[in-house]
């Protein structure tokens, strides 16, 4: 009975673990000013999808 419960728990949780891995975040570059970062993000957005720039403070 315990093995059946463990099997069902793992089997039913597989779709959720697969869905959690559909997106990724990759830092390509860091720049000292926000204007440089925005300019570089514009360059990268020409060849990559969903490019974002963020300010860290």
Do residues 39 and 29 touch, judged by C-beta distance below 8 A? no
Averaged pLDDT in 10-residue chunks for the chain of 57 residues: 72 60 75 88 89 80
The ranges assigned to domains in the chain are 28-57
- DSSP helix/strand/coil, 36: helix
Q: What is the pLDDT of residue 50?
A: 85
With residues binned 3-state (H G I as helix, E B as strand, rest as coil), the percentages for the chain, rounded to 5, are 55, 0, 45
Q: What is the pLDDT of residue 29?
A: 84
């Amino acid at each position: 009975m315990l093995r059946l419960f463990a099997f069902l728990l793992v089997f039913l949780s597989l779709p959720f673990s697969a869905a959690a891995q559909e997106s990724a975040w990759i830092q390509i570059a860091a720049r000292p000013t926000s204007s440089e970062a925005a300019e570089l993000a514009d360059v990268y957005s020409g060849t990559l999808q969903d490019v974002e720039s963020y300010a860290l403070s």
